[in-house]
Chains A and B, each alone.
Chain A
Amino acid sequence: MLSKRIIPCLDVRNGKLTKGIKFKGNVDIGDPVEMASFYCEEGADELVFYDITASSENRDIMIETVRRVAEKIFIPFCVGGGIRSVEDMRRVLLAGAEKVSVNSAAIRDPGLIARGAEAFGSQAIILGMDVKKVTPSKKIPSGYEIVIDGGRTPVGVDALVWARKAEELGTGEICLNSIDADGTKEGYELNLTRLIASRVSIPVIASGGAGEARHLFEVLTSGLADAALIASVTHYGLLSIRELKSYLHNKGIKVRMHW
């Protein structure tokens, strides 16, 4: 039986982490490679690097970062942000990432998912979905709408319809981020996660809202998620991955306890 995965997400701008972590005598660690090593030692099951670099000339810095991470990190990792073409995917994968994630670009060009899956296999493609709760309507029957550009632009697409379409197009996993829960530290959006996870047959990674260990337990059980993405809960040292995993293990969840 597969273990549930705990996946830290690291935001990278121009090759540096946007949020350092304070540990080991209050030192800010800004280097993605050091941070990734730290998380591996802590028991992360996978890592996500999100490139928030605005300009395209700085993409080369990200590729170099991916290459450096791949020399030191021997667990799977995914790179997202600014992936707009099969060529973008190829560069990231050849630099050593296992997976790429596409988000806004796939909304504008759904065929990107199919072309990526055809070229590299479904297991290499993660669809990132940013979702906002709205009043159910004819256009958005589930009451969950896709938003892009960091949550600013609603696109008039129903989240459930999009998730199922993306699965058909060949995405291997869905990383489901609730814009409403994101940053609240009050827990994942369980209804949304359950809705999507129960209606697709690919793994769903829940994102947004983790503030304490209990929230991970909830989303991995009643939320039906296969994995939980975490960011600030560990970046700011509130909880370590080791503690999160011990908690889940003691509650009977199958998680990887040796690394």
Chain B
Amino acid sequence: MIAIVDYQAGNLASVQRALAFLGHDSVITHDPEQVSLAERIILPGVGAAGKAMSDLRRLGMERALFVSYEERKPILGICLGTQIILEKSEENNTACIGLIKGEVRRFPENMRGGEGRTLKVPHMGWNSVQFKKKHALFRGIDRDSEFYFVHSYYPSPSDPEIVLGETHYGFSFASVLLCKNLAAVQFHPEKSGGPGLRILSNFCSWKGKEDA
């Protein structure tokens, strides 16, 4: 069973719908026990870092995630779910879970794009990912594929080795992280059409190995 962690921030059903479409059962849960018992875990992305972290702490979810990570259980972070696995976020100045080292920063104002126009924040829409390494999670995905992003903050991990993919928006930021059994994407695979569904499908059969 796949557990979709509910930190009570809003609508998490789109990830579940995408999994159902692919033929995988999942449960949306705010019970740490259920998360501990799951085969694999998805940390979805809705809302703001401050509230998400205070809800996770209140629910006792932080420890369940730590233990699952140590147990080498496959974990997938999506959008905000990716950001809160780092140590801290500039959003609401939040101390996060810290499964991996690094922080989350806000896109600067007044970034300039190709046409000389100001780049808008949030970064919203379809953008590409430059993959730096091959990985089982991205098997079967065309290198020119694009993914759907909606975010104002971006992950900035300390260790460049865990950056599997980068996206350009004003500058290059880490949009795909991979550390042991933990994969994390800044875009929304559940809203990224065929390539996004492929990632979710690959995740459902991933054994959680770094170099698979």
Chain A residues packing against B (C-beta within 8 Å): 1-3, 5, 40, 45, 70-72, 74-76, 93-94, 96, 98, 120, 122-123, 172, 201-203, 224, 226, 256-259
Question: Given A96-B11, A123-B150, A203-B125, 16 more contacts at CB 8 Å?
Answer: A1-B127, A2-B124, A2-B169, A3-B126, A3-B146, A40-B193, A70-B17, A74-B197, A75-B148, A94-B11, A94-B13, A123-B122, A224-B115, A259-B193, A259-B194, A259-B195
A3 touches B124 (CB 8 A): no
A5 touches B13 (CB 8 A): no
Chain B residues packing against A (C-beta within 8 Å): 10-11, 13-14, 17-18, 20-21, 113-115, 117-118, 120, 122-127, 142, 144-146, 148, 150, 168-169, 190-197
> How far, in Å, is A39 (CB) from chain B's closest CB?
11
Give Cα distance in the complex from A215 to B11, angstroms: 37
Number of A-B contacts (CB under 8 A): 77
Chain B neighbourhood of A120, CB < 8 A: 10
B127 touches A3 (CB 8 A): yes
Interface of A is mostly: loop
A201 touches B126 (CB 8 A): no
Give Cα distance in the complex from A259 to B197, angstroms: 10
Chain B neighbourhood of A72, CB < 8 A: 21
Also in contact, A71 and B17, with CB within 8 A (given A2-B126, A94-B11, A224-B117)? yes
Partner of B126, one of A5, A71, A98, A122: A5
Chain A neighbourhood of B120, CB < 8 A: 201-203
Partner of B118, one of A71, A75, A123, A201: A201
Chain B neighbourhood of A201, CB < 8 A: 118, 120
Give Cα distance in the complex from A116 to B77, angstroms: 27
Q: Residue of A at shortest CB range from B194?
A: A259
B168 touches A1 (CB 8 A): yes
